[in-house]
A and B are shown apart, each in its own frame.
Chain A
Amino acid sequence: MTPSHDPLQLWPAAVSATATETDLLILAFTVLTLLLTVPVFVAITYFAVRYREGSEANRSPSGIRSNLIEISWMLIPFLLTLIFFVWGARLYVHSKNPPPDAMVVEAIGRQWMWKFQHPTGQSEINNLHLPIGQPIRLHIISQDVIHALYLPAVRLQVAALPDRYTDLWFKADKVGTYHLYCSEYCGTDHSVMGGEVTFMNPGDYQDWLTHAGAQQGKVAAGRALYEAYGCAGCHEPGSAVKAPSLAGLYGSQVKLADGRTVTADEGWLREKILNPNGDRLAGGGKQMMPSFAGRIPADELTTLIDFLKSYASPAAGKAADATPAGATR
């Protein structure tokens, strides 16, 4: 399932009560905006025609007491808009106070991916699967710069700060798959830092956690790492840097520059990622790949290698997961 790709969508999907209420607030505010602006635009246009230089119009002073007008057109719009301050503030305070029974999902942002960990321990990268009908509290922090987690379908976002936790809570009541973004500019791949949030029935969610999700999620998470660490930028067919394709590499025989032939097994893949300058390939071009030693945590390295193991061909690599359009380059 992927988010709607309607070419001219004029209203985003709403999956929670907060989202629906926010929409109502925005609609009402738009009506007020029209009430305040349309008369000004009509008046300016009308005056521009009616009082053109040389037109026969009555220009005698109207004798209006200006102080009264001035005060009325200062106060009336102000008081009208204050209604919206109160309305918006109430909704905001509500959205800031999660119910105590909320299910807590940990979220970590970093250049350039989101990592989510479910209460039962499973984790996923860039994608997020959640049950409906259950308050969810995302507990968010960043490992490097300021990011922000943005879920348009629930009309909420909050910064991911490198030094303190922030929270976001909502209760979705509709199944479906929607966009998940980073909304605070965080460097080169800011616009591909994100994926999809999938809201599921509680039963399906439990299923996902215990069966398909954990397995499929691992490959998808590996693919996300493959992109987040920039592997895809060089090793995918069609990239500007002509690095060899990694599809089907696992388990194959590799010829090295020193004449040896080795099997590309788990250990060898691991070694090449951490120490790319060892084991030069036969007929290889200029060695450009940077070392990832110290840059990639052990658990992520395992996930990445798991993905490479399943990466039989480019087609299979794509089919093994539900990578969102926004995450591929």
Chain B
Amino acid sequence: MSASGSIGGTARREPHAPEATIGRKADYLHAESTLRSWFLTTDHKRIALLYLASITGFFVIGALAAGVVRLALIVPNGAIMANDTYNKAFTIHGVVMVWFFLIPSIPATFGNFLIPLMIGAKDLAFPKLNLTSWYVFMAGALFTLVSVVLGGVDTGWTFYAPLSTAFSNTWVLPALIGVTIVGFSPILTGLNFVVTIHTMRAPGMTWFKLPIFVWAHYATSLIFLLATPVITTALILLIMERAFHIGVFDPAYGGDPVLFQHLFWFYSHPAVYIMVLPGMGVISEIVPAFAQKKLFGYRFVAYASIGLASVTFFVWGHHMFVNGQSDLASLVFSALSFAVAVPSAVKVYNWTATIHKGALRLDTPMLYAMGYIGLFVLGGLTGLYLATLAINQHIHATYFVVAHFHYIMVGGTVLAFLGGLHFWWPKFTGRMYSEPWGRVSALLIFLGFNVTFFPQFILGYLGMPRRYATYPAEFQLLNVLSSAGATILAAGYLFPMLYLVYSLWFGRKAPANPWNAKGLEWETSSPPPTHNFLSPPEVPRIPYDYPIQAQESRDQHG
């Protein structure tokens, strides 16, 4: 957006003129153009784009599988496809979306690209390790997709034993091996981020000057490092049991099937925050920029990131309230799950307070951010329904759960991802996208999402179990509504793919700082030079030093 006019009486700062005009050869995109220079690059920005291209491909695969699922559910009796086809479709939707899209989405793309820029560093601490993590990711993901080509896998993304180890006749082993390999990628990325944030901050960039985006990724990296090895272990045990019949999980060999659920959720519940925390980081950058106001309660929001990451390790048992777990354990896990609400509420209320008395621009990234807040609030509160023991006994494993986690994971990750993609697109590519089309797609996605998933809360409460290829006729109306919403949602996803790609060739050239945003990444040119900054960046006096600042920030930092 061209910057002019007054905003609440405060003049905007002009974008950095000198760096906005660096030579084309000097920026990271054009420095070299051979395939080799892309596939053997150690530049964190190019690796981020490698990830961006791959996860976009996986998103398309996952979305097509979702389309198959919604198509099948238009009729109650399963006339459109056989049960096992349906089961394979929802399994591959879950596996691809969770492991190959949601988990790497924001950390591996935006995190890789932005963390060094935001802290004023030239690159990540271990550039070669960074490239390795992309190859590990691709190898694992392609390995899993081989199982789909061979005929598919039907265990659900949760791979519960003994269904997955002894009873499924589908291609479980390649899928499991692929997912296990993919798991090493975020461990490497997390390690890289933690070391980078600890050791490579520019002089003067103290912990409490870090953008919330960096705080969020620091917290996420801790989960990567602490939780991912547990799922890796669990999956290796699953592979061993399926291949060699060692009795870990299958009672037929003396194992315990609930043990797998514990190991699985010990990772997979924190994994929800791997998906959500980076999204919160993105929203915490967008909201102040489009309100031109300092983030309200900066320290509380930073602490809340670490708080969420910590609490999330203690709530996995709420996935097993109806699985024969002891009552006392269930009571404890239920109470702890309620605690997640505290840091979540901190974030939501602080974003709302940031908008208060701001100078608001409703551009595409801000529309996504507002949509995000709406969906995250609904997703979060419906999580408390599931944490409430007596309610859980009714809605566990129904469509209520499906609706809840889509509100959290699609609402909380995909909307933040798309908001961030539009926000930093000029920085990534040096081009502006079409603002009117951006707004249309943001509104379509918000509308389509709600029409798709809100009816599922009702379906769940009415008692429709999840993962059903066929269902009683009285649930048809709501299912058809949901499928119709999915069609709108698909259109909403298609638009950005078209106009963003179009902008790569025909978009207006982007200035260094098109949004008048704060943060070191906006101090460098768009796109940035290979080594990020032509001159060492100057760290501001306070984080989010926007023109409009609440009184409290002056008290705290003045």
Chain A residues close to B by CB (< 8 Å):
3-12, 18, 21-22, 25-26, 29, 33, 36-37, 40-41, 43-44, 47-48, 51-54, 57-66, 69-70, 73-74, 77-78, 81-82, 84-85, 87-93, 95-96, 111, 144-146, 148, 150, 152, 155-159, 161-164, 166, 179, 181-192, 324-326, 328-329
Contact = CB atoms under 8 A, between A and B. Distances in A.
A242 to B, nearest CB: 16
The 9 closest A-B pairs by CB, nearest first: A152-B463, A92-B389, A91-B390, A88-B388, A163-B251, A61-B551, A191-B468, A155-B394, A66-B552
A157 B393 contact: yes
Interface string B456-471: 0010011101111111
B334 A85 contact: yes
Contacts of A22: 390-391, 393-394
Interface in B522-558: 548-552, 554
Nearest to B398: A183
A61 B393 contact: no
Nearest to B301: A70
Given A9-B474, A57-B357, A187-B163, 7 more contacts: A25-B390, A40-B349, A47-B355, A88-B388, A92-B390, A156-B394, A183-B465
A175 B294 CA distance: 62
Nearest to B254: A163
Contact of A44 (B373, B393, B467, B472): B373
Nearest to B359: A53
Contact of B341 (A62, A69, A77, A163): A77
Contacts of A21: 390
Contacts of A187: 87, 154, 163, 167-168
Interface stretch (B5-13, B117-125, B237-245, B263-271): B5-13
A163 to B, nearest CB: 4
A7 to B, nearest CB: 5
A88 B391 contact: yes
A26 to B, nearest CB: 6
B324 A162 contact: no
A157 B327 contact: no
B209 interface: no
Contacts of A159: 322-324
Nearest to A47: B355
Given A25-B388, A85-B334, A96-B327, A12 B462 contact: yes
B352 interface: yes
Interface in B234-264: 250-252, 256-258
Interface of B: 5-9, 76-78, 83-84, 87, 154, 156, 158, 160, 162-163, 167-168, 250-252, 256-258, 291-292, 296-297, 300, 321-324, 327, 330-331, 334-335, 338-339, 341-342, 345-346, 348-350, 352-353, 355-362, 370, 373-374, 377-378, 381-382, 384-385, 387-394, 396-398, 458, 461-463, 465-474, 476-478, 548-552, 554
A182 B397 CA distance: 10
A325 B273 CA distance: 40
A216 B296 CA distance: 69
Nearest to A324: B472
Contacts of A181: 463, 465
B470 A191 contact: yes
A57 B162 CA distance: 63
B384 to A, nearest CB: 6
A91 to B, nearest CB: 4
Contacts of B321: 92
A89 B389 contact: yes
Residue among A3, A65, A179 with the highest chain B CB neighbour number at 10 A: A179
Given A29-B388, A70-B346, A161 B397 contact: no
B265 to A, nearest CB: 14
B87 A190 contact: yes
Contact of B322 (A9, A52, A84, A157): A157
B331 to A, nearest CB: 6
10 contacts: A3-B472, A47-B358, A61-B551, A64-B551, A77-B341, A84-B388, A91-B390, A150-B465, A157-B397, A190-B468
B558 to A, nearest CB: 12
Nearest to B87: A188
Contact of A81 (B154, B163, B338): B338
A189 B373 contact: no
B269 to A, nearest CB: 18
B461 A77 contact: no
A189 B87 CA distance: 9
A164 B324 contact: yes
Contacts of A33: 381-382
B472 A325 contact: yes
A82 B78 contact: no
Residue among B338, B474, B548, B551 with the highest chain A CB neighbour number at 10 A: B474
Contacts of B300: 66, 70
A22 B390 CA distance: 7
Given A77-B341, A152-B462, A85 B335 contact: yes
Nearest to A192: B470
B331 A51 contact: no
Given A77-B345, A81-B338, A185-B156, A12 B388 contact: no
A57 B291 CA distance: 13
Contact of A186 (B163, B327, B382): B163
A161 B258 contact: yes
A157 B400 CA distance: 14
A59 B551 CA distance: 11
